[in-house]
Structure 1
Amino acid sequence: MGYELRRWFEDRLPLEISSGERVVALAIADLAWDDSRIGYGRKFMQKLLWKTGFENEAQVGKVLGKLAARGIELRVPIKGQDGEPLKNKRGQLVYAHRGHQRTFRIPFETEFPGRPAPYWDDQGERSPDLDPHAWHNNERSPGWETFEGERSPAREGFQGDRSPGREGFRGERSPARESLVTQAGDPIPLTTPTFPPSVTPRGVDSAGKAGSEKDDPALAAAVDFLMNLPEPWPLGRVSAKAMAPLLIEAITEQGWRLDADLIAKLTENAAGVHRPMSVLRIRISDLPKAPQRTATKSGSNLPLWCGDCGDGNPAAEFNAKFRTEPSSKKPCPACHPAHRTADAA
C-alpha cells in the first residue's frame, strides 16, 4: 500500500491544518497506491474509518471539506459519459453517487499549499539497513530479512486487495474511470455508507437504514433551507442533501433554528469568498451557540404562515421574502405582510 507515499505526504502537509485533518489525509495516503497515488475499493471507506477512528462517513466528509477549503483536495470527482467531471445544476463537482465508490488521489507537491520537505542528514551514521550483508549484535537487519508470515508494509496490502495497476478488482471498477449514465435531474448522492462491523453510526435506526428526506421532515426542511440561501450561497439538491445532516446536528447542539437569524449568520461577510460551498461547510461545523432570543417588538410580528406559499419552504415561516405564490415571485395573498398592511388600511 502507500507506506512510502504516506511518509512523503506527512513531510509536506502544512502546519496549520488540524490534527483531525492530518489524520484523515495521512490515512488516505496510507491506503492509496504508491505508483498511481489513487485509492479506492469496496472496503476503502471501512478501512479509512477504522484507521482514523471516526464514527461515520459524514464526519470524514466534514474533514475532507475542510481540507479542500485549504487547497488540499483529496477527492476525485465522478466522470460522465463524455469523460469530463460530472457537475450538478449549480456547477459543483460530484464526488459521490449511488452505486459508485468514492475515489481519492494524493496530489503532487505543486498541487497543494504544502511546506518544503526537510532534509535529514543522517547518512553519516551508517545503518545496517543500508547494507543487506551487515549484521548488528549478531542479528541481520530486519529491513532486509524476510520473516515468516511478515512482509514489508510498503509492499503489504489488505487481504484480497491487489494494486489496480497490476490487477483489477473483480466485479468493480474505479468510478473515476467509469462512464456514468445519469437520470433526469440531479445525480442521487451516496446514501448508503459503509461502516465497520463494530460501529453503529448515529442517526441510524434499529433496522440499520438511515432516514431519508422523504420520511424525515427535519432533513427535508434542512435541504430546502440550504437550497434557498441568498447568492452566492445556495446549494444544489445533491450538495444540500449531503450537507443537511451536518446542519441538523449543528443547529440542534447550538440551539439555532432554520430562520432568518441563521441565514444571516451563515452568509455574513460574503465579500472575497471564492468557494462558497466549502466556506459554508466550515461555518456550519464551527457554528457558535445561538444568541439569546428576546421578545419581539410590538408590531413587528409576521402574520401566521399559511404553509402553502414559497413552495413549502420552511424558511417562509420566519422570513417574509420566501412568502411567494407557488412557482411565482408574487407576494402570497394569504400571509404576506404586504397584504396584511393593505387590509389594515
Structure 2
Amino acid sequence: MGAELRRWLADRLPADLSTGERLVALEAADCAWDETRAASRHDLLDVLIRRTGYRDAKQIGKVLGKLATHGIELRVPVKTKDGEPVTDKLGRPVYACKGHELELYIPLATECPALMVPQAEDLQSSPQRGTNELNGPPPGPKAPPPGPQRSPQRGTPTPITPKTLLDISPPAPRGRSTRAADDPDFAAFWDAYPKKTDKDGARREWKRAIATGADPQAITTGAKTYADMWTGATADDLHWAVKSSKWLSDQMWHGNWPIRMPNRPGQQRGGASNPIPSHDDVKNGNVTIRV
C-alpha cells in the first residue's frame, strides 16, 4: 500500500515531533494508498492501535490532534451530502461519528507547509494522486564497472580494510551492564564508610559535594573518624548509622553527625579502647569529635 508514501513522509516530518506523533503519522501513511494518499479501511483504528502500541482509539485521536497543532492535519472531516463539513456544538469539525468511520489523508507538500523540504541528496519523489508511479523512471540496478568481473568464491573471506576495522566494535557483554570504574577518591571514601548501603545515592552526593569545592581527603578522613565510632558494632547496631548519601548531603564530615544508637544498659559500645558513645554521652557533652 503506502510503502513509498511512508518513506516520502518520513523525510519531511518536522524534527520537533514526539516519537509517538511521528510513529502515528508514519503508520497512517503506511495504511494509505500511494495513488489516492487516503486511508479509509474499516479497521484503520485497530491497525493503528496494534502497530503503535497505544491503548485505544481515544489515545490515537489525541495524537492526531497534536499533529494538527503542528500544522499536519491528517484527519478528513465528515461532510454532509452537500459537501459541507459537519461541526459540533462548538463549531469544531467532526472527524468520525456513528455511521462514518475515521478517514485519513496524507497531504502533499504544497497542501501542508509544515512538512519540511529535505536535503537534495535525501529528496524522494512523492507519489501523486491518480498515478502509481514516481516522478521519473524507477531506479534500476547499477551498471557494473568496466573490465572483467570476478564472482566471489564460496568460502573466500572478505578483505579487511582500515575502514572495516574502524566499523568493528566489540560485542556487548551479556547479563548485567558494567558500570565505569569509580573515582579513586570516592572508592577510598566508600571503603572507609561503615554503612554500605545506597552506593548510587552516595556516588551522586559525592560528585555534588566535590563540584561545590569540598576536599576529597577531608571527606574521607571524616568518614574514617565516623567509622571508628562504630568499631565493634553489630549489623543491628549499624542500622542506626547515618545513610552514606545523607551523610554526604548534610556535609557531616565536619563532625556534625547525630549519634543514634540503641541504649543497652551494661553493654560497652566499640570495645574498651574506643567505645561508641551513647545518647547520654552526647547530651552531657562527654564526646569530642575531631575531623
**TM-score using structure 1 length:** 0.36
Q: Which has the larger radius of gyration?
A: 2
Taking CA–CA contacts closer than 8 Å with sequence separation of 6 or more, which of the two structures ends up with the larger relative contact order? 1
